[in-house]
Amino acid sequence: MQIFHIQAPEEAIRPAIQSKIDNLNKPKGSLGRLETLAMQICLAQQTLTPSLAHPCHLLLGGDHGIEREGVSVSPREVTWQQMVNFTKGGGGVNMFCRQHGFHLRIVDVGVDHDLSQIPDILNRKIAPGTRNFLHEPAMSPSEYDRAISVGIELVDACHTEGCRVLCIGEMGIANTSPSSIWMSLFCHIPLAECIGAGSGLNSTGITHKYEVLTQALNRFNSQLSTLNSQLSPEYIIRYFGGFEMVVAIGAMLRAAELQMLVLVDGFIMTACALAACQLYPAAQDYMIFGHCGDESGHRRMLDFLRAEPILSLGLRLGEGTGALCAFPIVDSAVRMMNEMNNFDNANITKYF
């Protein structure tokens, strides 16, 4: 099992950061959320001159055994078809990465299709999809460890290039199902309140999804009772998670360990952030939550984390697109710290 050494940011620098923010040539507090973002970023990087150098985006693809139970309106093959589409620049994630200058890495960590010959897709396949957690754990302990290691490897490559801010997106049909179960178990919220339409289920489909996930959760709980097992976060993550989700957790934790900022996307990536924080609570100090999406339960999960999302645009595409949309706001907070003049240099009377 990988051990991370994640420390909450040192607080000694906070007064100096606040003083710099308050002495910029503006009324005190007048830039609102930009000021709180600037404080978080400066604390995370332990500096008065923060940087968003070499922003990177990891797009992780993986399939889910639970998809076989008809819990998604989209068929399994859409995962690999979209992964190929991303290499041609045709996805929403491609557009936003181009717009905001992110280096995009497309990574197959568990797609149920041979993508090894496709240019521009990194092959880190752990297995061709997870097992069906209606009947058994989605992944073995060794597969879980491998997924965490892949996340570490990907972040280390970005960090070596000078990356200070990381965005993570996913492509995996049916991955709202494990996200909903993680939310229910980690937040202690009834499963019915954690399930939504995913990629477009109607009311009948949502009811079927609820019935399947309830069966899976009941079987999981009965097995725990029989085995007298400890309900550790790792076990919950491994039992239900997708490879792309566990790789994302490993990436988030490694980024926090390296004091990199992590832009968190929608429902699935917030579920990954939730799981990561169950393992290492201090990791949240390095996370910036990009938006509140349209998937049922996302707002409640954010509330559980006491996370304030930057945007609320009704998005539910995934791929990391919501977090990428929020990046200009983060950039503005950093530019405020580095480019705004202060009262003394501007020869303006400080009136408060």
| Helices marked H in the chain | 14-22, 32-45, 77-87, 92-100, 141-160, 176-187, 203-227, 233-240, 243-257, 267-279, 298-305, 321-339, 343-346
Distance between CA 256 and CA 209 in Å, rounded? 34
- At residue 23, φ and ψ (nearest 5 deg) are -100, 5
Angle at 131 (CA atoms; ends 238, 280), nearest 5 degrees: 15
Residue 139 burial by Cβ neighbours in a 10 Å radius (0-12, 13-18, 19+): buried
10-38 burial: b if 16+ Cβ within 10 Å, else e: eeeeeeebeebbbbbebeeeebeebbebb
What single DSSP character describes residue 48? Answer: S
The helix or strand, by DSSP H or E, that contains position 167, with its residue range, turns out to be strand 165-171
CB 248 within 8 A of CB 60: yes
- Strand-pairing partners, residue 287, are 262
283-298 burial: b if 16+ Cβ within 10 Å, else e: bbbbbbbbbbbbbbbb
Point out the catalytic residue in the list 10, 257, 319, 339.
319
The number of beta carbons lying within 10 Å of the beta carbon of residue 324 is: 26
DSSP lists the bridge partners of residue 56 as 103, 166
69 is catalytic: no
SS3 letters for 128-139?
CCCCCCCCCCCC
**Going by C-beta distance under 8 Å and a sequence separation of 6 or more, which residues neighbour residue 295?**
176, 196, 197, 198, 266, 267, 316
> CB of 210 within 8 A of CB of 69?
no
The CA distances from residue 339 to 25, 58, 109, 206, 331, in Å, are 11, 29, 40, 49, 11
Catalytic positions are 319
